[in-house]
Structure 1
Amino acid sequence: MAGSTFGNIFKISTWGESHGEALGVVIDGCPAGLKLEAKDIQDFLNRRKPGTSKFTTPRKEDDEVSILSGIFEGKTTGCPISLVVFNKQQRSADYSEIASYYRPGHADYTFDMKYGFRDYRGGGRSSGRETIGRVAAGAIAIKILESLGIKIDAYAKEIGGVSIDYNNFDLKEREKNPFNMPDSKAASEVEELASKKRAEGDSLGGVIECQIKGVMPGIGETVFDKLDARLAQAIMSIGACKGFEIGKGFEVASMFGSTNNDAFSIKDGKITKGTNNAGGILGGMSDGSDIIFRAAFKPTPSISKMQNTVNKSNEEIEVSIKGRHDPLVVPRAVVVVEAMAALSLVDLIFTNMTARMDKIVDFYKN
């Protein structure tokens, strides 16, 4: 299957299915000497694993990572890093019924049209469990970024139409509620709404916002590999993501040049900007400001509420989806957004090392 590899220099390939034996990732291009142990990766996998609250799928998985290669005596060797997480709680029988019809909002129909058949057990490669490999690899990318003083934080900005109030913003609060919202009041409102929709057999969508601090200016390539273009590709590749914007995003369409442009000035001897409508990226390259983007995620399509669809015999039918599903994907997608942002940045930072001849001479001559 094409399309399972991401990156040019820091490159990852994810593999595995929701109800297969295991899922994992191979990371190529990680420099030698990075301190890394299983716990560094496990901490991130724990943030996305199922069964952590009544608002996630009841499927219970430890999602325990095993490092198969590329690490020796607590450091990366420069060779490919292979990571695996074994599935332990598959209940494929829950999905046998859907082999004969196409679930609304899912990839069932498109997989059949492309390949002529599909792995219907939990969605196969289109399942949210595919993100295990992304998050595991992203944990390594985040370690690299941390060594450069770069910090990535994502959180749920809005769920089901309930948005956070930036006057109440507290990133620590994100860890205290099951919705990854940095606003306790908004989280309480979402809990009430999510409980209501869950009881009705329905689901919720939302918006994840991500802030990246400490990125040096000049990261990103011109034309096709712009930083914002690569971030958009990375985030839009996450299942259920239906929209992406950076900085003021779609709001710029109603602004004027005089209000949208970020004026430059000097502060403490350094070039800075008075505003950050551009979201930290100009001409496809980082400008040294915080990079801020948002991603819209659709409601979970697997709902028990009755829906209309068709089967393989071209008959119109009604279905109620059974199985173990998240009533909303946003909380568990937060760490996936962080991972994909980190993977994009590391790859472009490594690419940037060959952008200037003087830097190459400095590296090899000094």
Structure 2
Amino acid sequence: MREPRPAPERLKGRGAGSNREGRFESTTVEHVDDGWFRDDGEAPPHPRTTVTEERARSIISRNQSPDIPFQQSVNPYRGCEHGCVYCFARPSHAYLNLSPGLDFETRLYAKTNAVERLRAELSARGYRCSPITLGINTDGWQPTERRLGLSRDLLQLLHDTRHPVSIVTKSALIERDIDLLAPMAAQGLAEVALSVTTLDNRLAAGLEPRASAPHARLRAIRRLSEAGIPVGVIVAPVIPVVTDRELEAILAAAREAGATSAGYVLLRLPHEVAGLFREWLDLHMPARAAHVMSVVQQMRGGKDYDSAFGTRLRGQGPFADLLARRFHVARRRLGFPGSPPLDCSRFVPPRPETPQGELF
């Protein structure tokens, strides 16, 4: 039986303020504080991170969305310890009968057979090479990657088979893999994008508590660029009234660090994320909460979120149009040259594994 859900609280190192039920739950449990189990002034419970191993049946996800610039992605983890309160992937935890709130950032799943499955799918007779994106539904370079190294192992396989890869991350841990990315980039096989939400360390600590600090992400952009790896910046998400004023500053800082491409994504609040973000505003910015959501709804047709292709990433209305104009003017002024296309012609399918080993 599910334990009662505590009232929303600010928890150090966590983005969500509660463990609200997912949309598939048949019951809702309300918290009643009768004073028996907490004394006044006692610190709130600190949820610990757990990682459960799972065996994936398949690993490559195919995408047909017309507004997404990739067709294939691989996610070695479910859930993400970065704890970004705005993360559009949070609702995926509801399919596991877990909360998109604190469960999403504390109860993680690692696909320990990810390399095995990717090897099998790349060697399939009907496979057609197109770039694979690592780190879409959850960040492949989140803290648990330091110990498990699943993304590193996947990248090694793509390196060995000369398969093109693109990476999106909020983690400076990506610097660890420059030794693989640099030779791939020299052959037109790799590109990386760092997602930057804000340059304000204090704000970042509240919005995305366990992601790399803004200055660390800019350092990663510089080091990747110096290694000859095409690297871009994604200002994401742009949060009206909270981070939108930083758009030009983030682009300028990333360009100075060596970024060659740039993009942005408007705040997205699908399903349970809307309630979690409203809780976050009430806990962290109560004086601005109503204003923030008012502008969000002006950009989403009067709703918290509109999932329509073509507008879900950019929004609509005067504020959205102004944001788009500001971005395009800044990108042109700063002279982002763009990244070259990835090369799919070099791919060599992996050989099927055999107990006899390799003779040649």
| Smaller-chain TM-score bracket | under 0.3
> As a proportion of its length, which structure holds more strand?
1
Q: Which has the higher contact order (CA 8 A, sep 6+)?
A: 1
- Normalised by the length of structure 1, the TM-score is 0.21
